[in-house]
Amino acid sequence: MRIQSLLLVGMLCSMSLAVYAQQEAYLDEVAESATESERIVRLQSLTESDQEMLVQLKDDLKQRENATEQLARELTEREQKLDNQETRFQGMAEGEEKTALQARIAADRQKLRVARNLTETAFQTEKAIRIQIQALEEKIVIDRQALDEMLGTAEDPTPVESMDDTATAVSPQADATPSAPGIQDERSELVDDMLPETPEQIEARRMAERVEQEAAEAEQAVMNFLEQKVALQYQIDLETSLLRIARETQANLEQGEQIRRQEYTERNAAGAEQAELDSIREKLAGVEADQRGIEREIDERQKRLESLHQRMQELQEDQLEVTAEAERMREEAESARSKSRWLESPLNPRNISRWAQERGPNILTILLAVAVLLVLIRLFLQRFAHAVIREGRRQGRNKITRADTLAQSLGNAVTVVLVIVGLLLVFEAAGVNLMAVLGGAAIIGFAFAFGAQNLMRDYFNGLIILIEDQYELNDIVTINDTTGRVERVSLRTTALRDLEGKLHFIPNGEIKSVTNRSYEWAQIVFDIRVSYRESADRVMEEIMTVAREVCADPDYGDAIMSEPEMFGVDRFGDFGFQIKCILKTSPGEQYRVRREVLRRIKNRFDELGIEIPAARAAAIAGH
């Protein structure tokens, strides 16, 4: 009972923790929504305030345009008046009247300087207000765009598909589902869709799409805040410039007021008419009214500047929040992309298992078929080589060795071709895009074929040499200008060992002529010289006797293929005549038989006293 109570308490605690976690998540969502709502309300209020300010600035611009025109007219009148006074002053004679006129000219010059400053300030203010209006209009557009994106009313050219579609069944059509940029498009062009997508992969991919779009929207929000910040800073700079101009205008008005008061005092002391004094007082009242207006403008611009600075501070705080939100969304998007990539990765154990189940049987079938074909083709090539290589005219020809060499060479070539075809079929069964592979292989093959022309010629000539049975192992041949024993024959090269023991590797494509000294049978030609004092018939009979003895010898008889043939006296020399006879032997046995026959002839001549002319020639040379 106590255990059941503990279990019940544990379940209640787990449920409480789950409910608490859900509440925390809900509160976080509400807090985030509240922060977003506050930003929306604040931006709406600022947009309305900027709109009202824009209306005020346009009204102010109209008034300032009128004031600027009036100041420009007054400036023109003062310049004309001063020019007239200076012209009159130059034509007057010296006296009190000229002195008084000179004083008025000096006062008018000071007034003209003040009027010019006021006019220049008015033009600067008008220009600054125009720029401020343009900047404020651009800022309102930016704020409205940001507000539309916050409210979700902005046009979106790439809408996100509903997550309700993630429960679609797996089918071949699932491969045609559009993928998010950066997810499916990252698959290599060398690999086709190896397996249909599973519901889990579809859900992960679409989740990545949605989070990526949210991250893009958050990033766009940061960019909007940056644009708002730049526009607001521009407004602050303009407002600061207008405040400076207003203060300069205030200083000019104060100077103008002093001049008007001084003028009124001077004209009143000079006994000027009441109408002139009233005109001066009216202008003085206008200057005082302008001073009060500029003071109000300075106060308003200071307040507006403070408000803009406050808005800049709030915008910076909002920017920090939006930047943090964009960073969080970027991390979530990266996490979603990583999850989607892992679910679609060929290294995922689930994908490996699915791939082995769906693709494995086909691959094993192809490998088994290739192996069986290799065995059958090798057997066929053995029979084919033995059928092509028939018994030649040479008795004792090792036909089996030559047939095996031809079968092995052809088998290697066919094996390479079959393995390449088998690999391509395996790649296709594994889901590899053969078009991309063959495209690259075609380029490589073209370059290889272009650079391997001599190699192909070597292989072709080697095949012809084997089929035509031009020579085989242990044959004594002369290839081009090299003579030696054949030690190795392949489709590409022939190896010859000369009498000095040097091994020459000759590419088959460079073989122009072949002289085979061991083809089918070999023939020994004996040119034996004897002295003129000897009987030719006797010497020929003895030579034939020695040759027949060698043929009857068991050690040499198997190597001799025919009876010796005597040609008779072949040539007369300086010290004797030459007798020629021939003897046919098996290929490669001619040297051994020749040495034995010559040895026995020498011994027989010594026994019978038959003189060899070379000895006599040496004796004659010795006297």
Residue 558: the pLDDT is 86
Pair of tokens at residue 339: 């999850």
Q: What angle do CA 492, 494, 496 make, to 5 degrees?
A: 160
Spans of all domains in the chain: 45-153+224-329, 360-516, 522-622
From the list 509, 413, 402, 513, the residue with the least C-alpha distance to 462 is: 509
Residue 582: the pLDDT is 92
The DSSP letter of residue 160 is P
Facing residues of 482 across strands? Answer: 479
Q: Are 116 and 79 in contact (CB under 8 A)?
A: no
Q: What share of the chain is helix, strand, coil (3-state, %, to 5)?
A: 75, 10, 15
Give dist(CA 491, CA 511) in Å, integer.
Answer: 13
The label of the residue with tokens 């809408």 reads 159
Q: How far is CA 210 from CA 155, 161, 216, 349, in A?
A: 17, 8, 10, 26
Backbone angles phi, psi at 359, to 5 degrees: -100, -25
From the list 334, 393, 81, the residue with the least C-alpha distance to 216 is: 334
Pair of tokens at residue 561: 């293929």
pLDDT, averaged in runs of 10, over the chain (623 residues): 36 37 41 60 76 80 80 81 80 75 77 78 78 80 76 55 39 40 45 64 81 82 80 84 84 81 80 81 83 86 86 82 83 84 77 78 88 86 71 48 69 82 83 70 69 78 80 84 86 87 91 83 88 91 92 88 90 90 86 91 91 56 34
From the list 87, 70, 81, the residue with the least C-alpha distance to 109 is: 81
Residue 400: the pLDDT is 59
Q: How far is CA 471 from CA 21, 144, 480, 487, 512, in A?
A: 91, 94, 14, 11, 14
Residue 169: the pLDDT is 38
Given this structure, which CATH class describes domain 522-622? alpha beta
CB atoms within 10 A of CB 535: 11
Q: Which long-range contacts (CB under 8 A, 24 or more apart) does 131-134 make?
A: 131/238, 132/57, 132/235, 132/238, 132/239, 132/242, 133/54, 133/57, 133/58, 133/61
In angstroms, how far is CA 158 from the centroid of its own chain?
27
Residue 475: the pLDDT is 81
User: Roughly what angle, to the nearest 10 degrees, separates helices 590-608 and 536-552?
Assistant: 130
